Amino acid sequence: MFTIGDFATFTHVSVAALRLWDARGLLRPAHVDERTGYRYYRAEQVTAVQRIEAYKQLGFTLTQVGGLMLDPPSADQLAGMLALRRAEAMAEQERTARRLAAIEARLRILERFDPMSPSCDITRTTAPAVHLAAIARHLDANDDEPDRLFMAFGELFGELAERLAIAGVTPIGPAWSLYERSDDSGITIHAALPVAPGATVSDGVVEIVDRPDTDVVSTVHLGDVAQMGAAYAALMEWLEANGLAPAGGSAEISLVWQPDNPTANVTELQLAIAS
C-alpha cells in the first residue's frame, strides 16, 4: 500500500483533494491506521482517481461525480462524454478567438479612424425594390456576447439556405443583413436573400418581404465586416450635416463575401432616410 502523500504524487492530485474525496465518499482509503489516522491506498485505486478527474473535466460537480462512481458508465459512454466535452472546449476556443479578433478590430478602428476625414464615399440614392426571403431573430439586450451578431447571422443564413432549397427556391442576389431599430428589449435582425418575384415559401419560418423603392444614404465598405464602425459613423455624420433623419434600421448587402479572406469582402451599407 502507499501513503496518501505517495499516492497523491503518483496520481498527480493533491493530498487535500484525496482527503476531500474521502470526506465526500468518492474515494475511500484502502486502509486507515486506527492509531495514527494515516490513510493508505492501493495501486488498483488509481483507476478511480482517473475516473474522478475525467468526470471533473466534463464539468460534473463532486455530488454528481459521487453518483457516477456508484453507477459508472461504460467505457464507450465515457469516451462519448469526453468527446462531447472536447467539442464544447473547441467551440469555446473558437468563440474566444473571434472575441480577440473583434477586440483587435476595435483597436485598429480607434487607431485609424478620423471622423473628420471619412475614407468612404457617401451617396444619397433610391435603392430599387427587392423581393426578399428572410428569417428573423430577436437578440436580447442582456446578451453582451461580443460576437453574438456574427454567430446569429451565421446560423440564420445557414437555416435560410436549407429552407429555400427544400422549398425549391433559388436566391438571385447577394445576402442582406437587416437590422430593425433597437429598443429596450434588444434588437431584431433578419437574414435575407433576394428571390424572384412570385416566389413563395410556406414553412411558417421564412417570411417573404417586399422591400419597396427606398430613399437611402449609402456607402461601400471594403474589408472585414468587423471593422464597419467607421463607415456607420460616416453615414450618421452625413445625415447630421445634411439635416436628415434615419427612417428605421439599416441594411448590409454582401456584394463580395469571402469568409476565408475577410479583407477581400465588399459590403454596401444603407440607412433609410425619413421623408
Whole-number pLDDT of residue 109: 54
Query: What's the fold here for domain 2-72?
Result: Multidrug-efflux Transporter Regulator; Chain: A; Domain 2 (1.10.1660)
Residue ranges in the chain modelled with pLDDT below 70:
101-102, 105-120, 141-147, 182-183
Domain 118-273: what homologous superfamily? Regulatory factor, effector binding domain (3.20.80.10)
Strands, DSSP E only, in the chain? 2-3, 31-32, 39-41, 122-127, 130-140, 176-179, 186-194, 207-211, 214-222, 246-256, 266-273
Whole-number pLDDT of residue 148: 74
Q: How big is the chain by its Cα radius of gyration, in Å?
A: 29
Whole-number pLDDT of residue 143: 61
The answer to whether the CB of 151 falls within 8 A of the CB of 143 is no
Q: What is the DSSP code string of 85-121?
A: HHHHHHHHHHHHHHHHHHHHHHHHHHHH--TTS-SS-
Q: Is the pTM of this model over 0.75?
A: no
The answer to whether the CB of 187 falls within 8 A of the CB of 180 is yes
Q: What is the DSSP code string of 57-86?
A: HTT--HHHHHHHHHSPPPHHHHHHHHHHHH
Whole-number pLDDT of residue 68: 83
What Å distances lie between residue 6 and 2, 59, 152, 171, CA to CA?
Answer: 6, 27, 51, 67
What is the rounded CA–CA span in Å between residue 174 and residue 99? 26
Whole-number pLDDT of residue 225: 81
Domain ranges of the chain: 2-72, 118-273
